[in-house]
């Protein structure tokens, strides 16, 4: 399991490695019924990656271009095949939700996630483009990849207007999220991300 702590700078190496190791871990994972929140089901696998044509279609559906690192991800894995499960601390209530989002299966969920953030921040796509504010891509739950207009592609945790930097890049986020190795995410991250991290509620405009 020491492999978990290895990071490959080459995305062509990293994503196949991640796919293989994560599926191995999920083979025997068990749902912790005392836990609140969504968990990965046993035997979960990644869906096959997208073709270049499918990635382009996905971009067109969302209305903006994807960063290269996300395209590497999509070429190798396109979300997971089983939904995540929440037992609400074993309160005899069970809920299911998409785990890692998949295209086109979860397109409406993805769009709704993005729109939810736009609505909470009182902004629309026209203003996003006009002010060159970074587009956001939901990866899983309320974790969003910064797609453009930013040096690097960090991952934000965005819940309504509660927005914080969660990971410096997609690779470190996935390792931490899949293997529950959150100590691997660097602290004191310093990224300049227009609007999403300096929202002014007085006038709802970028600073």
Q: Which residues neighbour 204 within 8 Å (Cβ) at sequence distance 6 or greater?
A: 121, 122, 123
pLDDT for 24: 96
77 vs 99: CA distance, rounded Å: 13
Q: What is the pTM of this model?
A: 0.89
CA distance 50 to 36: 32
From CA 158, how far away is CA 21, in angstroms rounded?
28
What is the bridge-based pairing of β-strands 95-97 and 84-86? Answer: antiparallel
Cβ contacts of 179 within 8 Å, gap of 6 or more: 4, 22, 25
Domain 2-184 fold = SMI1/KNR4-like (3.40.1580)
Contact 181, 4 (CB under 8 A): yes
If the chain, 207 residues long, is cut into consecutive pieces of 10 residues, what is the mean pLDDT of each piece?
Answer: 60 95 94 87 97 98 98 98 90 88 98 98 97 97 95 93 93 92 61 82 48
pLDDT at 182: 58
Q: How is the chain split into domains, by residue range?
A: 2-184
CB burial string 174-185: b at 16+ within 10 A, e below: bbbbbbeeeeeb
């Amino acid at each position: 399991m020491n492999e978990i702590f290895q990071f490959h700078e080459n995305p062509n190496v990293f994503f196949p490695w991640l796919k293989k190791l994560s599926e191995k871990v999920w083979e025997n994972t068990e749902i912790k019924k005392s836990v609140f929140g969504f968990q990965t089901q046993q035997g979960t696998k990644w869906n096959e990656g997208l073709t270049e044509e499918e990635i382009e279609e996905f971009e067109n559906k969302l209305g903006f271009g994807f960063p290269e690192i996300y395209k590497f991800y999509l070429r190798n894995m396109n979300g997971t095949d089983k939904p995540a499960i929440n037992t609400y601390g074993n309160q005899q209530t069970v809920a299911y939700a998409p785990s890692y989002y998949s295209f086109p299966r979860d397109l409406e969920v993805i769009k709704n996630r993005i729109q939810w953030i736009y609505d909470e921040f009182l902004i629309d796509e026209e203003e996003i483009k006009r002010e060159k504010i970074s587009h956001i891509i939901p990866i899983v739950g309320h974790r969003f990849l910064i797609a453009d207009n930013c040096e690097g592609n960090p991952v934000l945790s965005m819940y309504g207007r509660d927005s914080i930097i969660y990971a410096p890049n997609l690779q470190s986020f996935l390792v931490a999220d899949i293997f529950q190795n959150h100590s691997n995410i660097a602290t004191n991250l310093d990224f300049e991300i227009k609007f999403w991290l300096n929202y002014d509620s007085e006038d709802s405009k970028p600073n």
